[in-house]
Amino acid sequence: MIYDLAIVGAGPAGMAAGIEAAALGLSVTVLDEQPAPGGQVFRAVEAASGDAALAGEFRDAGGALAAAFRAVRGIAYRPQTTLWHLDPEAGLLSVVSGGATAEIQARRILLATGAQERPVPIAGWTLPGVMSAGAAQILLKTAGAVPDGSVVIAGQGPLCWLLAVQLLRAGVERLTLLETGSGGAFRDALRAGGLWTGRKLLAKGLALMRETRARGLRVVRNVRDLRAEGDGRIRTVRWRQGSRDHALACDTLLLHEGVIPSTHITRALGLDHDWDARQLCWRPRLDRWGATSHANVAVAGDGGGIGGWEAAAAGGRLAAIDAAHRLGRFDAAVRETRAADASKARHAALALRPFLDRLYRPGPGVLAPTDDTIVCRCEEITAGQIRDAARLGAAGPNQVKAYLRAGMGPCQGRMCGTVVAGLIAETRGTSMESVGALRPRAPFKPMTVGELANQRPDAIPELTA
């Protein structure tokens, strides 16, 4: 069959889009890499609902959204299914699941593939025991697990505070937050406004900070020059504060400098993107319905620009309404009427974003690590090697890949791509736009020859409520 709408990703945007599209009478399939709906923000929300450490928005709002998604009749939901190739012209999605491959056809495609944490290349970040903050949160959500010993969260952004609260509630006793960023950011952020319209989100953040204080979190501010050290695994984290050097014994270091849109697939498709100079990331160019530069493809949620789960869910609904309009279900005037609620919800959810973007503006260091820092984790290429290649004439990340293999490893540049481009721009004194981005290619994820040969649509799991 040919679906009206194929949605890639079952996070807030994908779930909300599926619910809305089904209500509008579209035939819908939702593919997702994970075994259960929720995306990363509501990962394993159904299984983890009894865990008091995760009480709050995760359990309440996330649980309700996942339940609403499960309850919709007629959505062909395909968990544990990975998209490895997409032909937008033909509306053909090539997927792999459980050792078999299949093709799914759809008139319109909505990419709701979400965000990834910004890679934080510091000296020693490849040592075992160093992870992203989000990784620790995933372990808590999916396995109820917490790190042992001396635990350090280092970086900035709302997730640092949320994770700190959750780990403290979960019984982590030796926890330190090393906050990067500068003291001047707060005054700059206040000028962005939006505090009144975004007061609900602001109150939530302040409540988190209060709870960390009540639970005795040790917070160190204005941290810079972070380094992880150890032989075979992390033993010590070092940093500078003012003019002084500090060190702390550390068993698990959790890095976080915010989240960025996951643009792997949108870039592989060759869609138009813009460089976001404030958030130091690429984002696909979208209209207010989430439509991309390709007539058959839309993007909803954090994959189109970071806005959080409420904005993502509203964006998913808008993209579904637009899909129904484009498929001839109703005219543009009806589209406007139907979109009123979702537009309002998105506007409210994004109100605090300019404030947060300024408060937690990533430092320039995230794109300019020291020469001895490994940037490409797969091929173990340092910032110094990349600067050398740029001096030799490599004008973009695709050329650096040919010079050094940076971006050629299994992650396909998901971790190093933007940093490589930043180092080239810095060394050659040019802009990120002129340096450009890596051009990923299919397969988007590694697969075996056996899987490729095993074309069995019937073997792809499909749950229809």
Min dist. Cβ of residue 171 to another protein (A): 6
Query: Does residue 100 bind another protein (CB under 8 A)?
Result: yes
Other Cβ atoms closer than 10 A to 233:
12
Cα distances (Å, whole numbers) of residue 420 to 28, 264, 378, 383, 389: 38, 15, 13, 8, 10
Q: Which of 23, 135, 185, 395 binds another protein (CB under 8 A)?
A: 135
User: Alpha-carbon torsion 239, 241, 247, 253, what sign?
Assistant: negative
By the rule CB under 8 A, 410 interacts with another protein: yes
67, 90, 149, 278: residue in contact with another protein (rule CB under 8 A): 149
Residue found by looking up tokens 């959204």 in the block: 65
Q: Which of 183, 184, 216, 232 binds another protein (CB under 8 A)?
A: 232
Binding residue (CB under 8 A) for another protein from 14, 18, 62, 129: 129
Q: Among candidates 439, 326, 464, 463, which has minimal Cα distance to 35?
A: 463
Alpha carbons within 13 A on the beta-carbon side of 351: 16
Asked if 318 and 24 count as a contact pair (C-beta separation under 8 A), the reply is no
- 317 vs 414 by CB, closer to another protein: 414
Count the residues of the shown chain that bind another protein, applying the rule CB under 8 A.
64
CB nearer to another protein: pick between 146 and 217:
146
CB of 251 to another protein, least distance (A): 7
Q: Does 62 bind another protein (CB under 8 A)?
A: no
Of the pair 31, 320, the CB lying nearest another protein is at 31
CB atoms within 10 A of CB 354: 16
Nearer to another protein, 388 or 451 (CB): 451
Residue 98 as a binder of another protein (CB under 8 A): the answer is yes
Instruction: Tell me if 94 contacts another protein by CB under 8 A.
Output: no
State the Cα–Cα distance between residues 156 and 35, nearest whole angstrom: 30
- Shortest Å distance, C-beta 179 to another protein: 21
Select the residue interacting with another protein from 74, 144, 354, 365 (CB under 8 A): 144
Stretch that binds another protein, among 272-280, 299-307, 384-392, 453-461 (CB under 8 A): 453-461
Is position 134 an interface residue for another protein (rule: CB under 8 A)?
yes
Task: Give the nearest distance from C-beta 135 to another protein in angstroms.
Answer: 4
Chosen residue from 142, 293, 296, 370 binding another protein by CB under 8 A:
142
Return d(Cα 233, Cα 252) in angstroms, integer: 9
Half-sphere exposure at residue 315, Cβ-oriented, CA atoms within 13 angstroms: 32
Please state, in angstroms and rounded to a whole number, the distance separating the CA atoms of residues 281 and 87.
25
- Shortest Å distance, C-beta 102 to another protein: 11
Strand bridging mode 100-111 / 297-299:
parallel
* CA distance linking residue 384 with residue 44, whole number of Å: 40
Q: Stretches 66-74, 142-150, 235-243, 353-361: which one binds another protein (CB under 8 A)?
A: 142-150
Alpha-carbon gap, residue 43 to 48, rounded angstroms: 9
- Binders of another protein in range 158-197 (CB under 8 A): 170-171
Work out whether strand 82-87 and strand 75-78 pair parallel, antiparallel, or are unpaired.
unpaired
- Give dist(CA 174, CA 377) in Å, integer: 29
Task: In whole angstroms, give the CA distance from residue 216 to residue 251.
Answer: 19
- Binding residues for another protein, per CB under 8 A? 33-36, 40, 44, 47-53, 80, 82, 98-100, 116-117, 126, 128-132, 134-135, 138-139, 142-149, 170-171, 232-233, 251-252, 262, 377-380, 409-411, 414-415, 445-446, 448-451, 453-454, 456, 459
